Amino acid sequence: MKKYNYIIQKIKLFLALAFVGMIALGITVQSCSKEEYEPVVLDEEILNSSELEEFIVAGADLQQSLAIFTDGLNQIDFSTLEVITHAEGKESIHLPSSFWKSIRIEEKLQIFNEKKEVLIRKIPQFTACREDIQKKYLNACVNNSVNVQGEFLKLGIKSSRPLLKGGTLESWSGEDLYALIYFLVSWMSSSNYVELFILSYTNGTYGTWVDDRNTPLKCHASFNRINDTWYHQGNAVSWVAHTHSNDSCASPEDKYNATNKTPGLPSYIYYQGGYYGYNFCD
């Protein structure tokens, strides 16, 4: 009987300890869950920094300018463009000066590059944040910064629904503020150089494309070849150009890529409204 009572006491003690353990575990799980879903407190230093504001404005200006530039290319009859003959019979083709000077796409690219590098250098704690936290900062800055809202108004952009400078609603290729935030965050994961590709498709239309793998010395081209035709995102390409900010000369890396990565695809340097062949400076 004593032995039986001893066993009963042991069972009761075990059950009591197990109950206490379950309570402790429940408190721990509840605490972790609470901590996991605790609202993120944004750092005021980051949120109110001029570097973050200027990065957002430069990105919005670039993205809007890309849409305007692409739309403008599709309005131009390339068969009527001015062809300039240079020394040794080398030629270049030039867009109407009124068009490219009004957009200054290379300048917009350079400004965005500079603002991005300043942000990365001066506020490294922002670039160290998770992507979802970066989006919270960017959205909060757009919604609450008087400076950002003021610059957006100058650009003809409403943060709730972007507008073209002319007031139409086809801004940013029909994309919205979400697309701007995504665009900005995508460049935080890479400190590489923002460079523009200009694509001529075989159907007579034109497109633009940026790639965050680019560096000041190397540009990456995401093309695939089927038979003798090169394709970009499913569209057949007749020729491609990429921007240079300082000169019209193709680098050795440019020539290597054209010869080894996209053989047979005509390639050009776009510089201040002109298209220059890769042998222009030879």
Q: Who contacts 4 (Cβ-Cβ below 8 Å, separation ≥6)? A: none
Determine the pLDDT at residue 244: 87
Whole-angstrom distance, CA of residue 230 vs CA of residue 202: 10
Q: In 10 A of CB 130, how many CB atoms?
A: 9
Whole-angstrom distance, CA of residue 173 vs CA of residue 22: 56
Q: Who contacts 24 (Cβ-Cβ below 8 Å, separation ≥6)? A: none
Determine the pLDDT at residue 192: 65
E strands in the chain: 82-85, 91-94, 196-201, 206-210, 224-226, 229-232, 235-243, 267-271, 274-277
Q: Give pLDDT < 70 ranges for the chain.
A: 1-40, 158-176, 189-193, 211-221
> What's the whole-model pTM score?
0.75
CA-based R_g, the chain, Å: 28
Report pLDDT digits (tens) over 38-51: 456 788 888 889 99
% helix / strand / coil in the chain, to the nearest 5?
50, 15, 30
In Å, how far from its chain's centre is CA 214? Answer: 12
**Backbone torsions φ then ψ of 127, nearest 5 degrees:** -70, -20
Determine the pLDDT at residue 221: 61
Domain boundaries, the chain: 1-38, 48-277
